[in-house]
Amino acid sequence: MAPMTSAGEEMHALVERLYPLCRSITGDGVRATLDIVGEYVPLQVHEVPTGTQVLDWTVPQEWNIRDAYVADGAGNRVVDFAASSLHVLGYSVPVARTMPLAELRAHLHTLPDHPSWVPYRTSYYKPEWGFCLAQDTLDALPEGDYEVRIDSTLKDGHLTYAEHVVPGRVPDEVIVSCHVCHPSLANDNLAGIAVATYLARALAEESPYYTYRFVYAPGTIGAITWLARNAERIERVKHGLVLACAGDSGQLTYKQSRRGDAEIDRVLRHVLAASERPHRVTEFTPYGYDERQYCSPGFDLGVGSLSRTPYAGYPEYHTSADNPDFVSPEAMTDTLAVCREAFGVLDRNRRYVNLSPYGEPQLGRRGLYDSLGGRSDAKQAQMAMLWVLSLSDGEHGLLDVAERSGLPFATVAAAADALHDAGLIKA
């Protein structure tokens, strides 16, 4: 695994590489995105046919687009899909017409409050067509006739998603989910894709306890499709994290699972607080990213969401201003570091039973005090051993010990290892 500094630069380079692709909830843009991610981690790609029933939804027709533009009377493209995939309303049906500007205006989307930005708009489930452009561009258009062309197809095909699995020592799973359905938006969604990919690479080098399943799927319909196709094995999923908006300059934000007291919630709260990073922890709401699918009451999985500035919380959200310059290697590196710290705690947070529970066992004759000689944190390490022994009753995990004692989790885990090797506790 590359050092964290170079990992940040590599993640940013991946964002820049993916940025031009026109992604949607289906189509070749998703496949091209997964092809590139597959160069970094091996992926199992799934194709689900149009019309497939997935829970209460149906896989829609597949949308692809080759070209689109609005041209003035001289043939100049005043709005051009080739310049940015944001210029076309997502899932636009094909159109080839000439019409006056007065008629065209009903199909044009702008952001008057940010006149130089292009908005991101879609019409997935209602047949429609349209273009997105800067208000400044629209204001400069003279009256007259314009050629309107959208060379797209909307027909039976497939919904595409992919998985990458990092095998663990147990079959119990942690899912890490990111959405792959947005076109040229760097923070939402490419930074999440990049952080997830480099997190997978890091975990593969660490021989984790849990099995980690990375899900790259279109938002909403993709997560619903994954849940429908994995319902029979959903009991394996013990924890989960949705990654989105992972690269902006805002402070980290953790949105708790619907349960609010799932182990992943406790772990993220602890890691963020212990790190002394500026951060926020928010309550679950049934709106946002795919945590709302994983946490729906029928599944009720312990899945939270980690972002920096959260969903719709920054002016650049769903606009052309969410470009590669809006995200930074440093912010993605920080998000990746928190994920690694959190999963390190999650992997190590196990319960133990004290094998010498009647009175305090003699640590000195077992060499446990001697092993602390010369350590600057010897007193802290000794207290960690005593706390682990005290709470190793089969009901408290190491995170409980860290929270109750106020000691660093790493110190508590090291004490548990020493006590386990000395035969004083067992998992």
DSSP for 27-86, please give it.
Answer: SHHHHHHHHHHTTTS--EEEEEETT-EETTEE---EEEEEEEEEE-TTS-EEEETTT-GG
Structure tokens, 77: 């493209």
* Residue 347's pLDDT band (cuts 50, 70, 90): very high
Confidence (pLDDT) at 144: 96
- Return the residue matching tokens 């990458």: 164
Domains of the chain (ranges; CATH) run 4-60+158-348 (3.40.630.10), 63-155 (3.50.30.90), 351-426 (1.10.10.10)
325 labeled part of a ligand binding site? no
Mean pLDDT across the chain, nearest whole number? 96
Contact by Cβ (8 Å): 76, 142:
no
* Residue 364's pLDDT band (cuts 50, 70, 90): confident
Span 248-268, average pLDDT = 97
Percent of the chain with pLDDT over 90: 93
Confidence (pLDDT) at 372: 57
Confidence (pLDDT) at 77: 98
Q: Which range has the worst mean pLDDT, 3-17, 178-192, 215-229, 329-343?
A: 3-17
Span 119-131, average pLDDT = 97
Ordered alpha helix ranges (H), 326-424: 329-348, 378-391, 398-405, 409-421
Q: What is the pLDDT of residues 207-249, one digit of tens each?
A: 999 999 999 999 999 999 999 999 999 999 999 999 999 999 9
Q: What is the DSSP string of 182-201?
A: -SS-IIIIIIHHHHHHHHHH
Contact by Cβ (8 Å): 348, 369:
no
- Return the residue matching tokens 């690269």: 247
Percent of the chain with pLDDT over 70: 97
* Residue 365's pLDDT band (cuts 50, 70, 90): confident
Q: Is the dihedral of CA 408, 409, 411, 415 positive or negative?
A: positive
164 labeled part of a ligand binding site? no
182 labeled part of a ligand binding site? yes
Q: What is the pLDDT of residues 173-195, one digit of tens each?
A: 999 999 999 999 999 999 999 99
Cα separation, 415 vs 367, whole angstroms: 13
Span 298-304, average pLDDT = 97
Beta strands in 283-360 (DSSP E): 303-307, 351-354
Q: What is the pLDDT of residues 37-95, one digit of tens each?
A: 999 999 999 999 999 999 999 999 999 999 999 999 999 999 999 999 999 999 999 99
CA 411 from centre of chain:
29
Contact by Cβ (8 Å): 23, 348:
no
pLDDT beyond 70 at 376:
no
* Residue 154's pLDDT band (cuts 50, 70, 90): very high
Structure tokens, 250: 């805002």
Span 7-31, average pLDDT = 98
Cα separation, 46 vs 42, whole angstroms: 13
* Residue 379's pLDDT band (cuts 50, 70, 90): confident
Span 350-379, average pLDDT = 81
Contact by Cβ (8 Å): 219, 225:
no
Would you tell me the crossing angle of helices 28-37 and 4-18 to the nearest 10 degrees?
160
Beta strands in 190-251 (DSSP E): 211-217, 237-243
